[in-house]
Structure 1
Amino acid sequence: MSTQLVAAQDDLDFLHSDSVQLTALMTPLQAYCAMTSDIPGWLARAFRIRDFISRRFNVADIHGFTRRDLGQVPAVGERLDFFAVEAISDQQLVLTSRDTHLAVMVCMGVSAGECGLLQLSVTTSVKCFNTFGRLYMVPVGRVHGVIVRRMLANLQGHRFKRR
């Protein structure tokens, strides 16, 4: 399983990858649901500010993350929060968000790490199409790693049954 990117690596405007050792068996969808289950107030406010500003540039609101029923597995082409599901399996979840300003891809993968322990990797790649996209990524790029690490911390203590 290889990590998917929204464009060739040399053409990307932003690339971030982080990983964490899993304490329980889980699929990437289960990890996504656990990661988005407890969003801090500061991030919810950041989403509202983002929507307020972006609306003035005809960019659709994203509203942030919502709790999801794990019994409903999205199909390719369906929405998962503000992302479109590009691929989904027990080893990989690929999500995209595209508009006239930028394209974002999040690739989450579960694989065997050191000593056979499971590891979750989260890779976000972005391709900007214009000045607004590049300006948008200035603050987002600075805080993206902090946000991902905070969301990865939500995985501690989550236990799921493997499908």
Structure 2
Amino acid sequence: MRVPVVNVVAVDAGNVLHAQLPGADFVHACQAVAPRAGRSALQAYRDMAATVPGWFDGLMALRNGGMRLLGMKDLGPLRAVQDSVDPRPGERLGIFTVQQCTPDAIVLEDDDRHLRVQLALQWRGDLLEIATVVHTHNAFGRLYMLPVAPVHRWIAPHLLRRQVGAYMG
């Protein structure tokens, strides 16, 4: 089986999160050629969540325990995506709240006392793109992002590669 190529890219004007860039403290996007085969952005997100390795859920459990002690949200595991057929803006979908959901793009968000993170999965022709934009609210948010940013820069392309590889059989 051919290993899918994932490229880190800029969040350009064609990305649904482009308007969120001013003042962002962290921006990351990657894309890969993927057979769409009628898959919506929502289905792509569900497929990605389903490929999360168990060790990453372990990291999320550690994160959640620590954040709970600090009075922050326990988000639960990343792969906990409900089977909502037609999620509406404002509804929870796994660890995020839906901001926008069209066949071509889904924008998800979590806003807590320390930061606001937005994640988008977007079909751009035969490319599937994952973009993340983070705005920190305070010093704790900036401190929180110190270990999270490098993990995110590794896990997002890893999950995209796993997902696209599953699509390709």
TM exceeding 0.5 = yes
Amino acid at match of 2:60: F
Verify the 8 A CA contact 1:34 1:155 in the aligned structure 2.
Answer: no
Amino acid at match of 1:66: A
The alignment partner of 2:89 has SS state of coil
Partner of 2:80: 66
Aligned with 1:44 (options 51, 57, 60): 57
One-letter identity of the residue aligned with 2:130: V
Count of residue correspondences: 153
Task: State the Cα distance separating 1:68 from its structure 2 match.
Answer: 4.0
The answer to whether the 8 Å contact 1:111/1:119 transfers is yes
Task: Please list, as runs of the form range in 1=range in 2, the aligned pairs for 1:117-156 lying within 5 A after superposition.
Answer: 118-152=126-160, 153-156=162-165
Structure 2 unaligned regions, length at least 5 = 1-12
Which residue in 2 is equivalent to 1:158?
A: 167
Structure 2 residue aligned with 1:101 = 114
Q: Which has the higher contact order (CA 8 A, sep 6+)?
A: 1
Identity among equivalent positions (%) equals 30
Tell me the residue number matched to 1:115. Answer: none
- The residue identity in structure 2 corresponding to 1:23 is P
* 1:16 alignment counterpart: 28
Q: Contact between 1:96 and 1:103, CA under 8 Å: does it hold in 2?
A: yes
Distance 1:52 1:6 in 2: 33
Instruction: Report deviation, 1:73.
Output: 2.3
So what's the TM-score if we normalise by structure 1? 0.85
Counterpart residue type for residue 143 of structure 1 = V
Distance 2:139 2:96 in 1: 22
Quote the RMSD (CA, aligned, Å): 2.0
Amino acid at match of 2:129: S
Residue type of the partner of 2:61? Answer: R
2:3 corresponds to which residue?
Answer: none
